Chain A
Amino acid sequence: MSEVVLKQVKKRFGPIETIHGVDLNIRDGEFCVFVGPSGCGKSTLLRLIAGLEDISDGELSIGDEVVNDKAPKDRGVAMVFQSYALYPHMTVYENMAFGLDLAKRTKDEQRERVMAAARVLQLEELLDRKPKELSGGQRQRVAIGRAIVRKPKVFLFDEPLSNLDAGLRVQMRIELTKLHEKLKSTMIYVTHDQVEAMTMADKIVVLRAGSVEQVGTPLELYHHPQNQFVAGFIGSPKMNFVPAVVIEVSQQTVTVKLDSGKEVTLPVDGSGLDAGDRVTVGIRPEHCSLADQDTALLSGTVEVVEHLGEAGLVYVQAGGDELFVARVTGDTAIVTGSSIGIHARVEDCYLFDQNGQARRRLDVDNEPLRAQLATG
């Protein structure tokens, strides 16, 4: 078994603490993605697991064994770096065999394992080349091959695709997912790109400033973000946040008044909220529709229209500090400067209290309530 368990793991660089007590349970065979803005400590956390940095406090175990004091090579982990970090003077074959050679494996076993990895990654033609004679995607594959041949219990990836161009990135993303299905090993993958996180992960860990904000499956994070930070981070374009005031609280709904003056009743858990509390309503761009200005939740002047082809993004000045973004059909006729109204279904809205904590959305898994709201 090769589950990875972190208990109150902390990391200090000198007096500065950068990882503040992380608890995490990554199951055997899981594809776990660490995601968060740049500088939030994703790489540091990964390097703690790899053994490239010492853990200042807490406990890390890999497969039932505490590995805090073990050298990287004895932890049964392999790492793929962002810059590939291939040995420039060695051929592809030598690059992949290097670790096995250091582990004193026989030449036959080295050959066998390297050839097997090369077959999986389609590197057979390239085994005699030096890294400088390879394209970016090929180098990335060699770096992955170097990890595979060691048959690690846990694979660690630190933003492995961020140096590739967009097309190749999508392709490698799919290949990595397929590889995970084939090897069934535990994989921990660091990225700042929420699309990569959403598409590849079994489990996403959202980090901010050295702390875990939320752990969950991609859809859990999308539908039930625990706070405003996660809500804003998952989803593209970003969720819109609209200030509001609580008017009335019932057990299964909260009625709020938006700054635009419009009142809406949202199907969220209202416990602990009182009339008069300031809150924030979250609306995803993809949940917006166009509406008459008098029935719409919000209205305003269009500042920018972006045509993506399959859809259009409309940036509206609706009174807030930031422009409100709505996703509309690709053939939209909206032009800059026009006034439009925007509507969203109440069950698609999110509600955050003053501290940015999300109110539990009741609707997503509550059919009767949805029916009740629909009838008025």
Chain B
Amino acid sequence: MNRNVKSLMMKAGFYLLVAAIVIFAVFPFYYAILTAFETGSALFDVNYLPESFSFSNYLSVFEGQPFGRNIFNSIFVSVMVVALSLLMGVTASYALARVKFAGRGLLLVTILSVSMFPQVAVLSGMFELIRAVGLYNSMFGLAISYMMLTLPFTVWILTAFMRELPRELEEAAVMDGASPWTVITRVFLPVMWPAMVTTGLLAFIMAWNEFLFALTFTLTNEQRTVPVAIALISGASQFEMPWGNIMAASVIVTVPLIVLVLIFQRRIVSGLTAGAVKG
């Protein structure tokens, strides 16, 4: 076989593979969007191109349950989780990366191993805790329990990043009269933007999509977050699955994530590579 033909086939094979991966990744979401615009029996016909275009699903999502309230709850919890995670993550990672104390390595490993437990394993214990402090069926209870999921990776990523910052930078600030808090807020934070955006976004996505804790630790429709609300959307009768509504709701809640990622994508990319090369 001629070398040109061979390289052409290699190229074709490569793009075929890329196409397969893209379809596999994007198709479920594409299908959800299609379905969300359909009504009646059209929902159950398999079609790959838009056929009908109706907003009725989107409207009925907000009629069947307090979906606006649910979205607000999700935003509230996620923002709180991000803020708390970053605050605690940054201060903890300063100590773990910059302050020498006995048991530092052990502590880091412990923090990481917390995230290895399956969520179900800690569910009942966490439930007791949340109830004991009177935060059952409350946004704050949810936010606090999410810390258990976000802090391990937040602390790890930020610690790794902070270790890479030159020691002399901190010492220069100390010579200038900076306290540890000033070092963190006025010298490290501005330098750590990419890492903060990356971890913050991961924490946001995690909190936004979390289901198990959200289902267990809330009782009323008014306190639910979006993932639980969607799962509990019910049809007119118990034999009818309201696919249209579910799909419309899913589209609604995915859009904010996509927007966030698009806004921050440049930062994320530099965040994921920052630290590899000294900047």
B168 contacts A83, C-beta separation under 8 Å: yes
A73 to B176, CA, bound (A): 6
Number of interface residues of B (CB under 8 A): 17
When distances are taken between beta carbons in the complex, the residues of chain A under 8 Å from B173 are 87, 98
Listed in ascending order, the chain B residues whose CB lies under 8 Å from chain A are: 166, 168-169, 171-178, 182, 186-187, 190-191, 279
A72, A77, A83: the one within 8 Å of B166 (CB): A83
When distances are taken between beta carbons in the complex, the residues of chain A under 8 Å from B166 are 83, 85
8 closest A-B pairs (Cβ-Cβ)? A99-B176, A73-B177, A85-B168, A89-B190, A85-B172, A102-B177, A81-B168, A79-B175
A114 at the interface (CB under 8 A from B): no
When distances are taken between beta carbons in the complex, the residues of chain A under 8 Å from B168 are 81-83, 85
When distances are taken between beta carbons in the complex, the residues of chain B under 8 Å from A88 are 191, 279
When distances are taken between beta carbons in the complex, the residues of chain B under 8 Å from A87 are 169, 172-173, 187
Among A82-105, those with CB < 8 Å from B are 82-83, 85-89, 98-99, 102-103
When distances are taken between beta carbons in the complex, the residues of chain B under 8 Å from A89 are 190-191
Q: Can you show 24 pairs from A to B with CB atoms below 8 A apart?
A: A50-B175, A52-B174, A52-B175, A72-B175, A72-B177, A73-B176, A77-B175, A78-B175, A81-B171, A81-B172, A82-B168, A83-B168, A85-B169, A85-B172, A86-B172, A87-B173, A88-B191, A88-B279, A98-B173, A99-B175, A99-B176, A102-B178, A103-B177, A150-B176
A79 to B174, CA, bound (A): 10
A361 at the interface (CB under 8 A from B): no
B177 contacts A52, C-beta separation under 8 Å: no
A366 to B28, CA, bound (A): 98
A146 at the interface (CB under 8 A from B): yes
User: Looking at chain A, what size class is its interface with the partner chain?
Assistant: 20 to 34
B267 to chain A, nearest CB (A): 14
A103 to B176, CA, bound (A): 8
When distances are taken between beta carbons in the complex, the residues of chain B under 8 Å from A78 are 175
B152 to chain A, nearest CB (A): 28
When distances are taken between beta carbons in the complex, the residues of chain A under 8 Å from B175 are 50, 52, 72-73, 77-79, 99
When distances are taken between beta carbons in the complex, the residues of chain A under 8 Å from B176 are 73, 98-99, 102, 146, 150
Among A29-59, those with CB < 8 Å from B are 50, 52
Listed in ascending order, the chain A residues whose CB lies under 8 Å from chain B are: 50, 52, 72-73, 77-79, 81-83, 85-89, 98-99, 102-103, 146, 150
- A73-B176, A102-B176, A103-B177 known; A85+B171 contact, CB < 8 A: yes
When distances are taken between beta carbons in the complex, the residues of chain B under 8 Å from A79 are 171-172, 175
When distances are taken between beta carbons in the complex, the residues of chain B under 8 Å from A150 are 176
When distances are taken between beta carbons in the complex, the residues of chain A under 8 Å from B178 are 102
A78 to B279, CA, bound (A): 25
A134 to chain B, nearest CB (A): 15
A122 to chain B, nearest CB (A): 22
A87 to B178, CA, bound (A): 13
A88 to B193, CA, bound (A): 12
When distances are taken between beta carbons in the complex, the residues of chain A under 8 Å from B172 are 79, 81, 85-87, 146
A98 to B183, CA, bound (A): 11
